[in-house]
Structure 1
């Protein structure tokens, strides 16, 4: 088993996917596991680009909650993928533990969402690092979660990467 595969399996055990699949129920489980609420904020794609985000979503971690900002014009499927990508970052602990100083992305985001105080933001994780290991992990997590969510549920089905056979 690869390290990535082990991490996916641990994430699936830690926060099981609801059966039948329901994104809202899954987000509630992730929030309960993390001990912090998660809110979703759709915004125009152009605004995301202005923040320096090269993707169509980002995760804002504040002191007591998490915010996922995503492209308001994305199809439902694409929005779900963006949201799950950011959840992957959360479950794999890709965020920073310490607060970061205000950045142009922070200032643009707080102008867009005035209820956000720059002081409360611990970090913002966008897809500006696309191609790095953590971006690939979050992307595969979103892909695999969406695939597994559409498959009929079986007791013996575990979260594993496609194309790998179990050794017997």
Structure 2
């Protein structure tokens, strides 16, 4: 399959980047900041997620670039969110006179409340531009060219980060490729169900057949995006009930609320609640470190989630939601 002009442009930007080997996000951010001559800060989002706030936002003031990101997700997904924002910066996106989204004030309030060093002053009047990421709550999409470019470049950079890990991995590339095709088949039912409910998370960019790792990475990212987008469709009380039904089995508890939220979204229900961000290993919102092992762990967890989602416990829980 020939490269699209979009793919060629994004690969040219990736090729020109001083990409750290082995990959290190902090080093990459330092190099980008040195090249731009502007400080670059990463700030984890705080408080409860809501329908106004994407999973990642780039705020450019007159002096500083600040990237806000969703912390309550897996390392692989978190990296994609941050790289998407860095991609906007690398691609030179932004209009100085663009209208500020409503969540700007909240973000700058968080940044000013201790998330940044004391000498970092983020004055709302200095704000030059803000970019929302992913359509995590179904409020943005990749129909916008700049968003598609940023997400594609982030995908290319994520794949190159994984490629650095693969070069020193004891398992051969051919065996890995076959494994990734198997993983893609495993995740297709879950991906299809979740992206039917949240279609805005799908990046409609054709990837070549010889890129199974990149295809797998996209599938994992889109599943994770959909899970974040579905969180407001289950109220806090039902989340507590899901915990009780799971009886200590995190995967069952998460499968309960994810499936209930998916069906609520498909039924046309409005978001019903805000929920606290959740951490902890082995949950639908956070698991594993980055790298190849992280991608493998993602697949294994999401496959378990899908199996639990189709089980009797989840079926009874969802039917209880309708009564």
Which portions of structure 1, spanning 4 or more consecutive aligned residues, are displaced by more than 3 angstroms?
Answer: 99-103
Deviation digits for residues 24-78 of structure 1 (CA, Å, limit 9, x no counterpart):
111111112222111000013635x36x23x311000011110000112222222
Structure 1's 11 and 45: CA in aligned 2 closer, same or farther, altered over 3 A? farther
Aligned length: 154
> Which of 120, 139, 143 is the equivalent residue of 2:151?
139
Q: Which runs of 5+ in 2 are unaligned?
A: 113-120, 134-138, 168-205, 211-323
Q: Which has the higher contact order (CA 8 A, sep 6+)?
A: 1
Deviation digits for residues 69-96 of structure 1 (CA, Å, limit 9, x no counterpart):
0112222222211100101111111212
Q: Which runs of 5+ in 1 are unaligned?
A: 154-160
**2:141 paired residue number:** 130
TM-score (ref. length: structure 1): 0.78
Q: Is the 8 A contact 1:44 1:73 kept in 2?
A: no
* Matched residue SS, 2:103: helix
Whose strand proportion is higher, 1 or 2?
1
Structure 1's 24 and 116: CA in aligned 2 closer, same or farther, altered over 3 A? same
Whose helix proportion is higher, 1 or 2?
2
> Which of 100, 108, 111 is the equivalent residue of 2:109?
111
Q: Is the 8 A contact 1:57 1:71 kept in 2?
A: yes
Structure 1's 33 and 163: CA in aligned 2 closer, same or farther, altered over 3 A? same
Find the aligned partners of 1:71 and 1:39 in 2 and give their Cα distance: 14
